[in-house]
Structure 1
Amino acid sequence: MSIRHVTPLTRRTATGRVAQVYAQSAADFGQPAFMMVSPAPDLHAAAWALLRESELVGRAPRAEKEVTAVAVSQANGCRFCVDAHTILVHATGEHQLAEDLLHDRPLTEPRFARIAAWAKATRTPGAAESRSAPFPTEVAAEFIGTALSTHFINRMFSTLTDERLIPGNLQRSHSVRRMGGITYARTVRRELAPGESLELLTGIPRGLTPDWAAGTPIGEAFATLRGAAAAGAALLSAPGRDLLAATVADWDGGHPSAAWLDQRLAGLSPGDRPAAGLALLAALAPHELTDARVERWRATGSTTDADLVLLLGFGAITAVERIESAIAGAR
């Protein structure tokens, strides 16, 4: 994986909150998580906490939650995340399932097929398939949290990396995928205590706790991700924020083009367009983000890598909140 547009903190250079996230994610996930988000430590910690508390911890089978993550990533077109979560499905021992998911073949086991259909449908607010939850109420927060975590991280990976999991795309080899699954099998099968990531969130402003996860570590993590990502709003003008909100509210789950984006931006002043363009891309069309667009934004004034991560994070969470609202409304 090659990280674009920002210089991440490495395990050797990281301190404070980022170093703590790297240490915990290496132990619990098998590798330091989300290095491309590390220039914004609060957002980095919140993104990790939501993934850990929903996808890695809990009573729902890990294979089912990995199916959720693969299916959401397919809906969003995040190649890195599809490949990574497919390897994690292999790690659970579900080898045929992993290959069927990767190649988008029909899933033979009904429970996996229902979960995948629901997860893919979450990209489209109001989709019929997302209205009927294919999981018990007592583990609903785990599945919803996994889906929303994946929607957020898909957008950050697609904007800030080249989406190659392994140099040369070696993960496209079946034998490499199986070997990767073996490598992660022990980590995937560990039983993790819920809530241990929350100590990494001390001092981070929080948004509203969702009703679907109230009273759980998942709810606290999601509320903190809301709060951390909201810091990016300050990097947009008021008209830019209004445009982002209105555009996401009208979104039908499709994959807009760069030409569509420029049409939406035409009503803003020239100085407001670069930042609003990046936020809109992160929300709805992350694959359309280019070096040129980032450079135009950087040319508008004093900008940092942390600013870029927060700006993209605000765009991403705006789309995720639209998806979350649709899921919660269906329930």
Structure 2
Amino acid sequence: MKYLHPIRRVDPSSLVGQVYTQIRHDFGVVSDPFKLHAPIPELLAGLWAIVRETTLVGQVPWALKEAVAAAVSQTNACPYCVEIHASAARLPSPSSLADLLKQGRTQDISDPAVRSIVTWALSSSQASTIKTLPASFSAPEAAELLGVVVTYHYINRLVNVFLPESLLPSLVRGGWLGKQVWKQVGHKLAQGRNEHKPAGTSLRLLPEAELPAELSWAAASPTISHAFAGWAARLEEKGAEILSPQVRLVVNEQLARWSGGVPALGRGWVEKVIADLKGADKGAGRLALLVALASFQIDERVIEDFHASYPTDAQLVGAAAWASGAAARRVASFLAPALASLPLSHPS
């Protein structure tokens, strides 16, 4: 893990300890995307809630949701997440789902259900390309799928900042050994996934909050609604604690004009946007904008500039998480057309 100090001892009675206990029980292992949130326990609880209540429980087959996570990760240039979630989807094919996504060969996915959901998920990152859901899902099932999309738009950005490109060394990633390792990873992740897990057990770790308008589709599921409302509320609280109103305004104004996709090459656009920010706000604004819109461009210099005024891991994680959440919520605002084919798009 880059830029963060490992937390070696966790009190089981603390909020981090309680979340870790739930993760081990339901997910099997506390993976690095969860661990990087540990400096701010409330954000760890929020992440766990949106992951659990969309990906691990519900009516949509978990392998389809893993395929959605892999496709979204491909749109965000997050190879770490593409490999893991493509392996979990366990596509029966001579080529792995990860390879098909990276090579743009989605037409070669033999399973029509997987092919249609992957095609839909790939369209979800830009307002101009979003497609309707490819089958007659119910509104609660749509909430699961849209929840997975938003969850991984959030996770991908943070993984790009804090984690390496892959769990595997570069020497074995593309070869026979790498394929065998990912096959075993997929098998391990699949264990226990078909066992029934009750919805809502993560929610006691989150506050009740109002669901933001761009997440209104989540209201079709009370558990998903509670999870996303609590997650969004915690992010806003931490963003306000760490970042100035000026920085948050600049980021939100830029996101309001963003319709998806990646900004121009280089960072000239960032420097123009933050030109009027002063002092500590300049480094904070640079970090937040890059996390939101080009997370793969963040390097040690960006982190050092931020740390000059914000020295702690909690400040770094909180600022990055707020910016990533703001971008994910902007993507959520693109998703209304996805519901157009449903017989019931909203709860009555």
**What letter corresponds to residue 259 of structure 2 in structure 1?**
D
Local SS of the residue matching 1:188 = coil
Distance 2:84 2:171 in 1: 12
Find the residue that maps to 1:163 and give its secondary structure. coil
Q: Which digits, 9 at most, give the CA deviation of each residue in 1:69-109, with x for residues without a partner?
A: 0000000011111111122112xxx3328713433222223
How many Å separate the matches in 1 of 2:258 and 2:312? 30
- Do the aligned residues in 2 keep the contact of 1:89 with 1:98 (CA within 8 Å)? no
Task: Determine which of 18, 30, 34 is the counterpart of 1:32.
Answer: 30
- Paired residue for 2:200, among 195, 203, 220? 195
The residue that corresponds to 1:184 in the other structure is 189
Change (3 A) 1:205 1:303: farther
CA distance in 1: counterparts of 2:10 and 2:169, whole angstroms: 23
Q: Which amino acid aligns with 1:13?
A: V
Task: Tell me if the contact between 1:47 and 1:225 (Cα under 8 Å) persists in the aligned partners.
Answer: yes
Pairing of 1:100-115 with structure 2 (within 5 A): 100-104=97-101, 105=105, 106=107, 107-115=109-117
The alignment status of 1:236 with 2:243, answered yes or no, reads yes
Structure 1 residue 184: deviation in Å?
A: 2.5
1:122, 1:327 within 8 Å by CA — same for their partners in 2? yes
Residue of 209, 232, 243 corresponding to 1:206: 209
What residue is the counterpart of 2:75 in the other structure?
A: 75
Structure 1: where are the runs of 5+ without partners?
none
Contact preservation (8 Å) 2:93, 2:110: no
Alpha-carbon distance, 1:284 to partner: 0.8
Q: Is the CA contact 2:283–2:306 (under 8 Å) kept in the aligned structure 1?
A: yes
Q: Using the alignment, how far apart are the partners of 1:248 and 1:206 within structure 2?
A: 23
CA RMSD of aligned residues (A): 2.1
For the residues of structure 2 that align with 1:58 and 1:205, how far apart are their CA atoms? 21
Map of 2:345 onto structure 1: none
The DSSP-based 3-state class of the residue aligned with 1:69 is helix
State the Cα distance separating 1:169 from its structure 2 match. Answer: 6.6
Q: Which residue in 2 is equivalent to 1:254? A: 261
Provide the residue aligned with 2:4 in structure 1: 6
TM-score, length basis structure 1: 0.90
Seq. identity, %? 32
One-letter amino acid of the counterpart of residue 68, structure 2: T
Shift of 1:174: 1.3
- Structure with greater helix percent: 1
1:295 matched to 2:304: yes
Deviation at 1:168, TM superposition (A): 4.8
Structure 1 equivalent of residue 324 of structure 2:
316
Gaps spanning 5+ residues in structure 2: where?
340-348
Equivalents in 1 of 2:11, 2:156: separation in Å? Answer: 23
Q: State which of 229, 250, 258 in structure 2 corresponds to 1:223.
A: 229
| 1:279 maps to amino acid | A
Q: Is the 8 A contact 1:8 1:38 kept in 2?
A: no
Say if 1:141 and 1:77 are closer, same or farther in 2 by CA, change over 3 A. same
Q: What do residues 224-249 of structure 1 show as CA deviations (whole Å, max 9, x unaligned)?
A: 11011112133222222221011111
Aligned CA distance change for structure 1 residues 95 and 176 (closer, same or farther; 3 Å): farther
2:308 and 2:189 map into 1 onto residues whose CA distance is: 43
**CA distance change for structure 1 residues 134 and 97 in 2, over 3 Å: closer, same or farther?**
farther
Matched, 1:137 2:138: yes
Task: In structure 2, give the amino acid aligned to 1:66.
Answer: E
TM-score (norm 2): 0.85
The counterpart of 2:18, out of the listed 20, 24, 29, is: 20
Deviations 1:181-223 (A, max 9, x none): 222232322221111111222xx47352532122521111111
Aligned equivalents of 1:171, 1:207: Cα separation in 2: 44
Letter aligned with residue 322 of structure 1: R
Q: Where does residue 346 of structure 2 map in the other structure?
A: none
Q: Aligned partners of 1:240, 1:286: CA distance in 2, in Å?
A: 17
Q: For 1:17 and 1:64, how far apart are their aligned partners in 2? A: 31
Asked whether the equivalents of residues 207 and 226 of structure 1 are also in contact (C-alpha less than 8 Å), the reply is no
Taking a change above 3 Å as real, the CA distance of residues 185 and 98 of structure 1, as seen in their structure-2 partners, is: farther
Counterpart residue type for residue 208 of structure 1: L
